[in-house]
Amino acid sequence: MRTTLSAILLLVLAATALAQQNSPDSHFDGNSWWAHVKFLADDSLEGRDTGSEGLRKAQAYVVGQLQKAGLEPAGANGFYQPVRFNQYEVDESKSSLALVTGGQSKSLSFADDAFINTRSTRASANLSAPLVFIGYGLQIPEKNLDELADLDLKGKIVVYLAGSPSDIPTALASHYQTAGERWKSLHAAGAIGTVTIFNPASMDIPWSRISVNRNHPSMDLADPEFYETPGLQLGVSFNPASAEKLFDGSGHTFADIALKANAVILTKALESSNIVAKLTGSDPALKNEFVVLSAHIDHVGIGAPISGDRIYNGAMDNGSGSALAMDIAASLKAHPEKVQRSILFLLVTAEEKGLLGSKYFAAHPTVAPKSIVADVNVDMFLPIVPLKILKVGGLEESDLGARAASIAQSMGIKPIADPEPLRNLFIRSDQYNFIKQGVPSVKCDVTFEPGTLEQKIFKDWLTNRYHAPSDDVNQPVDLQAAALYEEFTRRLLLDTANTPARPRWKPDSFFRRYAPD
Ligand SMILES: [Zn+2]
């Protein structure tokens, strides 16, 4: 009898342990997360555009919540770090683009063929220059790839296809495709302008939706130290469906085609802020080091109406990550575990303008630059299906990636590396600015098994809701997935804060080159 009883007890204990492993004790239920998302994505906040009143209201709400959670201000001005921007807008009524072949000029339609991109056209320009096709236009010394070899690009406008050859590793390909890196080699070769043909293989948003918002102003950091494309006079974005106009030329070779452009650019200065708050660690030495939890709070604001709605609410992008930051702060107050390193809560502005708020912070942090040991970035983690598989961006690059994977595994979640390298996600959110300062970083997202219904849910979401007014609170979300993701992030932060050794890049990681030894 006794043996049987203890055998049963043992079984019960084992079952409990197993249950804990599979559905871990959680500090979150998804409800407070959703309440925060609802506040941030409300129509009254008008899509939280950088520099707007709506974003200021969202930020005041976040600061209030972080204060309530007992965090201390860690910005330059209380919880805020002011950042100055310039805004650029095309006056299309006074601008034009045309292809010139054998003295004949054919104008291009801004809506259907190509538009002037103000991210790369910073001043009014009136010019005509020959076009040269350069493939992907990449120079990647690590892979002996040089698509510019033997080309005369002096005074030319280069035409390239967005993306990279499929045999180039993701991290490397991502890095060399950033605007600054790409332009470095083109500028050195003498080019004066770029035409980017969007790559249908990697377009998250169809041309029609990109085109309808083409006149939304772009921004850059006002401080000239951040200007990455000196000498670039004109940047044009080209519809892949119209690309044959660049190539046919009825009997003419590609080399005979010139692009004639008249770009009228309007500029304006404005200011916005990052939010920086800290939870001070308990260890007398380690508390001077920081694990950063970053999330962008801005979105794209008000845009062209789609189905009668012009407010781009940004519920998942990135109300979801901002809400997570508030939830995690509150949970650390309600359930204070030992936290040895300090945790920095960073809600950046102007991510949608080109990762600008984080770029500014990473270059001018409000804590000692060398004290930042890791960045865990959360951006649009998409809890729209149950969290069974977690994509760990940066999985193979550092022991922080490996730690994220093992924590996911311990929670019954399968960690995987980025299965869609063509979408270039590793450079498309704020972690990239920390990586460039040498800080090991990860960005994790809910994902799917290929060939499943979940894959279709994700594809439909990107096509229809990503950067559209329908990324609002009238969409189905999985609150349990959100809660589980929050729990994962909380454990990753605590584990990183409490592990004596700082995270390190793997010896063979491309990004190790940025790390001071
Ligand atoms: Zn976005």
pLDDT tens sequence across 18-68: 444 444 578 999 999 999 999 999 999 999 999 999 999 999 999 999 999
Query: What is the distance in A from the centroid of ligand 1 to the CA of 352?
Result: 5
The half-sphere exposure of 148 on its side-chain side, counting CA atoms within 13 A, is 23
Query: What is the distance in A from the centroid of ligand 1 to the CA of 11?
Result: 49
Query: What is the distance in A from the centroid of ligand 1 to the CA of 144?
Result: 33
Query: What is the distance in A from the centroid of ligand 1 to the CA of 383?
Result: 16
* Degrees, nearest 5: CA angle 423-428-432: 130
445-469 tens-digit pLDDT:
999 998 999 999 999 999 999 999 9
357-384 tens-digit pLDDT:
999 999 999 999 999 999 999 999 999 9
In the predicted structure, residue 3 carries a pLDDT above the cut 60: no
The pLDDT of residue 178 is 86
Query: What is the distance in A from the centroid of ligand 1 to the CA of 21?
Result: 34
Query: What is the distance in A from the centroid of ligand 1 to the CA of 353?
Result: 9
Query: What is the distance in A from the centroid of ligand 1 to the CA of 75?
Result: 24
Tokens representing 407 are 């924590």
In the three-class reduction of DSSP (H, G, I as helix; E, B as strand; rest coil), residue 50 is classed as: coil
Report the percent of the chain where pLDDT is more than 90: 78
In the predicted structure, residue 92 carries a pLDDT above the cut 90: yes
Tokens representing 316 are 């998942």
In the predicted structure, residue 127 carries a pLDDT above the cut 60: yes
Query: What is the distance in A from the centroid of ligand 1 to the CA of 69?
Result: 27
* 257, containing H or E segment: strand 257-263
In the predicted structure, residue 185 carries a pLDDT above the cut 90: yes
280-332 tens-digit pLDDT:
999 999 999 999 999 999 999 999 899 999 999 999 999 999 999 999 999 99
Least confident range of 184-198, 205-219, 439-453: 205-219
Query: What is the distance in A from the centroid of ligand 1 to the CA of 336?
Result: 33
Q: What residues pair up with 292 in beta bridges, in sequence order?
A: 344, 375
Query: What is the distance in A from the centroid of ligand 1 to the CA of 318?
Result: 7
Cα end-to-end span (Å), the chain: 64
The pLDDT of residue 517 is 67
Query: What is the distance in A from the centroid of ligand 1 to the CA of 163?
Result: 19
The pLDDT of residue 205 is 82
In the three-class reduction of DSSP (H, G, I as helix; E, B as strand; rest coil), residue 99 is classed as: strand
CB atoms within 10 A of CB 337: 12
CB atoms within 10 A of CB 205: 16
Query: What is the distance in A from the centroid of ligand 1 to the CA of 267?
Result: 23
Q: Which residue has the higher pLDDT, 445 or 254?
A: 445
Q: Which residue has the higher pLDDT, 421 or 175?
A: 175
In the predicted structure, residue 5 carries a pLDDT above the cut 50: no
Average pLDDT (177-203) is: 92
Q: Which residue has the higher pLDDT, 333 or 114?
A: 114
Query: What is the distance in A from the centroid of ligand 1 to the CA of 216?
Result: 14
In the predicted structure, residue 482 carries a pLDDT above the cut 70: yes
Least confident range of 5-14, 187-196, 316-325, 464-473: 5-14
Cβ atoms of 234 and 97 within 8 Å: the answer is: no
What average pLDDT is seen over the chain?
91
Least confident range of 29-33, 208-212, 487-491: 208-212
Report the percent of the chain where pLDDT is more than 70: 93
